[in-house]
A and B are shown apart, each in its own frame.
Chain A
Amino acid sequence: MSLIELKDVYKIYNEGQENQVNALDGVTLTINSGEFVAIIGTSGSGKSTMMNILGCLDISTRGEYLLDGNPVSQKSERELSELRSRRISFIIQGYNLIPSLKVWENVALPMTYQHIPLAERKERALAALEEVEISSKAENKPSQLSGGQQQRVAIARAMATRSPILMADEPTGALDSKTGAQVLSLMRQLNAKGTTVILITHDNGIAAQADRTIRVMDGHIVHDSLWDGILVPAEAAAGVKGA
């Protein structure tokens, strides 16, 4: 069973009107557990829409999305937030943290929604901060951290939450290349421990660091690195990752 399966998914804005936009125009995609995937495209290509759908932030207009084999499209808002809370972590471009909460509290916040007791929340948060080498700032407010440090805190949040999927939308967008590389390397580490990482970017260089790149244009997948080499598109669509 694949972790993520999109079957002929459409996301259509202003349907039936003159300014109709098919942000996703019949996308079929399979991502397996443990992959490190980059979705690459220019702005307006539909990559952000794809992240929103994959991240359960939005639902598709048509088509089927199976997460762990469960259909997402018909879920209520409550069920979606439950899904996000337990299955998916996000790192987005720019600031990711709640300004009024301390760093460790930010890391622990998703666990609050999972009703994990305070002591365990704090312990897991501090451990995650240790891993991203930022535990000295645990009691600080996010505004006292640099952009790169803030992104590391966001990664720590994903680690502490232990969600199986990390969605990162231009996580290095606002960072210099050195800090960006550090953030990417942390995501690598996370992936090595089994987290499925989906990286959304417009930057070919960053995308190149992923195991698999999926290029999106005008709401279609125009290239999937799985298709190169051994696999034929039909097999790729079926989600079979060969050797």
Chain B
Amino acid sequence: MNSLRMALDSITEKKGRSFLTMLGIIIGVTAVLVLVAMVTGYNSDMTAYYEKMGVNKVTVQVSWYDATRASNVMGQLYEYGNNDLSDWVEGVTPDLSTSLPLQYGGTTIDSSTVYFGSDQFSTCYNYTLESGRDIVTQDIENRSLVCVLGSYLADSLFQYSDPVGKTVTIGGYPFLVVGTYYQKDGGVEDSMDDAVVIPYSANREILLSDQINNIILKVKTSNDMDTVINKLTSYLNETIDTAVGEYSLEDGNSAMTESNDEMTSLSVVLGGIASIALLVGGIGIMNIMLVTVTERTREIGIKKSIGAPRGEIIGQFLLEAAILSAMGGLIGIALGYLLSAILGKVMYDLILFPNTLVTAGAFAFSVAIGMIFGIYPALKASNLQPVDALRAD
């Protein structure tokens, strides 16, 4: 109890100096927390983006050397995916879109994403039907000029009245609105809600082509990705004559995985750099503790003369170092939370708080550093000969 009070007294007696001593630890802890929180924020931002886009997608891209000998790879993969691969694949749709103006009545939206989709488009792209119906196979077979609107288009073209049954003009062609999708990306311009899907067979009218060479297969779980890629590889090897064309496969998760991996290593590097600040803070504590030992030499002498054992003296100085660094750690944590919250709001529009584990770790690390760097001054104090210590003024 005495030791604790003596340590606190010594710290509060020289507030300015104690604060400056803590500053290194404060900055270190704050930096570690904020950096890790920012990386986490970036990560969840990216993950959210990928999830909105729809994860677990395999993209097949075919290029034909001779377009006249091209086969209907979309049709083939649709069949293959929905029959042979139906255990693992939940949807097949073209990976084809363009940007076109949309018009209804007097309102024109300059450029919206127009997707050429199969009846499984919404599954593949993570859209959910809000009203009306989705694209169906008949639409594709009949090359019907129908469309399903994203929420931004539905809202801005129809001012919140029901668009189903109305006709919009897309790229100069009249399309009957058969359904709308729920908002999934903020419902603003240029978001994924600023999109419309039409049957992919309509590309004959719109893009003047009936070639669909990029196809997306939506896989049920990320664990099935490899199976599907392997099966697709053998299937495409058989189907596509190497003299006529070639194909490539892309694992849609790999970009996300890569970005996650990058961010993890980035956060380790940044955290490491921030820890250097902690280390420097520790050296600051050692420095000031050495000064304190010199200043309190006489006090140490008195204590030793009245029988204080070495452990008592060591304990007192270690305690003081630990309290200094713990206080620094706590202030650093408070600042770290505050800064993370502010930066998270500004940068990612997220309520971002540092990871609890990282917080606990940074705190424990800062206290440990205080203790470690307090050992030398404490030992120095305890090794003072009482005779010399008493002689000091």
Residues of A within 8 A of B (CB): 52, 55, 57-58, 77-78, 81-86, 89-90, 92, 94-101, 105, 109-110, 112-114, 157, 161
Contact = CB atoms under 8 A, between A and B. Distances in A.
B305 A78 contact: no
Size class of the B contact interface (CB-based, 8 Å): 20 to 34
A83 B9 CA distance: 29
A52 B306 contact: no
Given A52-B387, A94-B393, A100-B5, A82 B303 contact: no
A101 B299 CA distance: 11
B385 to A, nearest CB: 7
B2 A85 contact: no
Interface string B297-327: 0110011111111101000000000000000
A57 B302 contact: no
B259 interface: no
A100 B6 contact: yes
B307 A81 contact: yes
Contacts of B390: 57, 92
Contact of A95 (B13, B298, B387): B298
A230 to B, nearest CB: 36
Given A57-B390, A92-B302, 4 more contacts: A84-B305, A84-B306, A112-B2, A113-B308
Interface in B320-374: none
B310 A77 contact: yes
Interface of B: 2, 5-6, 9-10, 13, 298-299, 302-310, 312, 385-387, 390, 393
22 contacts: A52-B386, A52-B387, A57-B385, A57-B390, A58-B386, A77-B310, A78-B309, A81-B304, A81-B307, A84-B305, A84-B306, A84-B307, A85-B308, A92-B302, A94-B393, A95-B298, A96-B302, A98-B302, A101-B5, A109-B308, A110-B306, A114-B307
B244 to A, nearest CB: 91
A57 B309 CA distance: 12
Given A57-B386, A112-B2, A113-B312, A157 B10 contact: no
Nearest to A113: B307
A55 B312 contact: no
A100 B9 contact: yes
Nearest to B300: A98
A110 B302 CA distance: 10
Contacts of A85: 306-308
Nearest to B304: A81
B302 A97 contact: yes
Nearest to B312: A113
Contacts of A114: 307
B133 to A, nearest CB: 81
A81 B308 CA distance: 6
